[in-house]
Amino acid sequence: MEKKKIVIIGSGAAGVAAAEEARKNDSEADIVIYSADPDLPFYRLRVAEVLRDPEAAEKLYLHPAKWYEERSIRLVPDTHVDKIDYDAKNIKLENNETVAWDRLIVTTGSRSFVLPLKGFDRDNCFTLWSLQDAKKLSRAIREKGLKTCAIIGGGLLGLEAAWQIHQAGVQVKILEFAPILLQRQLDPRGSDLVQKHIESLGIEVITGADSAEVIGEGETGPVQGIILKDGRRIDCDCVLMSVGVMANTDLAVDAGLEIGRRIKVDEGMNTSLKDVYAAGDVCEVDDGFWFGLWSISMAQGKVAGANAAGANKSFVKETPPYIVNTMNTRIVSQGILPQEEGEGYSFEITEDPERYSYKKLVYKDGKLTGFILLGDYAKEMVALQQQLKD
Ligand SMILES: Cc1cc2nc3c(=O)[nH]c(=O)nc-3n(C[C@H](O)[C@H](O)[C@H](O)COP(=O)(O)OP(=O)(O)OC[C@H]3O[C@@H](n4cnc5c(N)ncnc54)[C@H](O)[C@@H]3O)c2cc1C
């Protein structure tokens, strides 16, 4: 029998997991990953470390090159896939080469979402998604001696970038659009303690900050600051925009895959077209299940890879906890967290403002429905997660 040819587009968490799992399920298949990333596949969730320590880049690889060779997984980096031709069952690469497939796995992930902000095309304006992005910002900090960085967006990514840039000796100002930090994950008291903790480290937090324009020298010169819509001026010589991500769905749209906000898949990671699978940040499961998380991308990649190789696996949808490990603390929020007590809900709160620690347990009719933890609560977290399941 002829060997099956499994082609994977993208070398993020989902793509690499898919390749590994495909190999475990089919020792003969041709497995090849095409990726626009020039680097060996890396821990994307740790790329901000390069901002503090440029040497960290090489420590972020998922596996050495020989790991792929040993598994006969062919990795083709620095190669953009321009087109999927479903009828011809091939893909077209940027050099016009066409590559045939029997099973195709699309794991093209996300890219940074960029607000249409006037002046964001000036020198020293950055986004952060790839290792290349991190290296570029890290180089600019060091070679240009940047002193002050304004980070637009105080979510998971913005906070981690803030911490790493701060440790590189750059003054950091976090500009958060919402009236409080992590508005969707925390309550006002928890958010207040997080903000105080961040400020105690010497990082400035400006909430209710709606950016109007990046200003700089002349019409196009380097950044000198940001003007907010309420007229306030934030001085800085560098801007990092971190306001969320967009799925890389262009290829899939063009190929005729069914799309919602992302590529639609079922729990077997099947797209609307037979023999084409999708996994990770680029897809949404069933009715829109999507979280943009590493662990979910890996889990979905494994299912897609196994099924492309002939298995019959399913991805199990489970709402994950929101966890941020940064700035020498841990922020966790999970489950149902109503704003106020009543209608059967009651709260149990303990806090230590001096240590910026906070524990809020939410019960409905005596049963735990959710919790917020700030600080060192590793053991409690596991026990509470178990209670939520019971
Ligand atoms: C700074 C930072 C911190 C994060 N922190 C956390 C965290 O604490 N916890 C957590 O769970 N998650 C975190 N994340 C998110 C997590 O990293 C992503 O959810 C995960 O990496 C998504 O993996 P993926 O494989 O689906 O997509 P991606 O990692 O986006 O990979 C997509 C791949 O597809 C390639 N590609 C795209 N289009 C093409 C094309 N046309 N041709 C060829 N190749 C293409 C790209 O080059 C890339 O290799 C963080 C992310 C960042 C950037």
pLDDT tens digits along 172-195: 999 999 999 999 999 999 999 999
Let me know if residue 381 belongs to a domain: yes
Cα torsion through 166, 168, 170, 172, rounded to 10: -20
pLDDT per residue over 124-166, tens digit each? 999 999 999 999 999 999 999 999 999 999 999 999 999 999 9
Q: Going by DSSP bridges, is the β-strand pair 223-228/211-216 parallel, antiparallel, or unpaired?
A: antiparallel
CATH code (residue 351): 3.30.390
Q: Do both 251 and 234 map to the same domain?
A: no
- CATH number of the structural domain spanning residue 34: 3.50.50.60
In a domain, 136, yes or no: yes
In sequence order, what are the beta bridge partners of 342?
345
List ligand 1's pocket residues with C-beta within 6 A. 9-15, 34-37, 44-45, 47-48, 80-81, 107-110, 128-129, 156-157, 160, 248, 251, 280-282, 292-295, 297
Say how many domains are in the chain.
3
Q: Is residue 94 part of a domain?
A: yes
* 143 CA to centre of ligand 1 in angstroms: 27
- 234 has pLDDT over 80: yes
Question: Which atom belonging to ligand 1 lies closest to the Cα atom of 35?
Answer: 44
Q: 132 in a domain, yes or no? A: yes
- What is the best residue among 11, 33, 44 to mutate for testing ligand 1's pocket, by most ligand atoms within 8 Å of CB? 44
Average pLDDT over residues 22-40: 97
C-alpha of residue 202 to centroid of ligand 1, in Å: 30
What pLDDT shows up at residue 143? 97
Q: How far is the CA of 74 from the centre of ligand 1 (A)?
A: 20
Tens digit of each residue's pLDDT (9 = 90 or more) over 365-374: 889 999 999 9
| Sign for the pseudo-dihedral over CA of 360, 363, 367, 368 | negative
Please give the residue range of the domain that contains residue 365: 328-389
Q: Is the model more confident about 390 or about 63?
A: 63
Give me ligand 1 centre to Cα 109, in Å: 5
Q: What is the pLDDT of residues 235-257, one digit of tens each?
A: 999 999 999 999 999 999 999 99
Helix (H, G, I), strand (E, B) or coil at 375: coil
Domain C-terminal end among 188, 209, 241:
241
Residues 227 and 290 in one domain: no
Regarding whether 203 and 144 lie in a shared domain, the answer is yes
Question: Is residue 323 one of the residues assigned to a domain?
Answer: no
Q: Residue 322 falls within a domain, yes or no?
A: no
**Shared domain check, 360 and 258:** no
Predicted pLDDT of residue 132: 97
Q: Please, what sign has the CA dihedral across residues 295, 191, 134, 79? A: positive
Query: Measured from the CA of 134, which atom of ligand 1 is nearest?
Result: 1
> 196: CA distance to ligand 1 center in Å?
30
- DSSP code of 61? B
Whether residues 18 and 94 fall in one domain: yes
Domain boundary among 241, 256, 271: 241
Once rounded to an integer, what is the mean pLDDT over residues 357-366? Answer: 95
Grouping H, G, I as helix, E, B as strand and the rest as coil, residue 76 is strand
- Looking at the fold, whether 141 and 289 belong to one and the same domain comes out as no
Q: Among 183, 211, 241, give the residue marking a domain's end.
A: 241
pLDDT in tens, 187-218: 999 999 999 999 999 999 999 999 999 999 99
Report the interhelical angle of 294-308 vs 13-25 (nearest 10°): 30
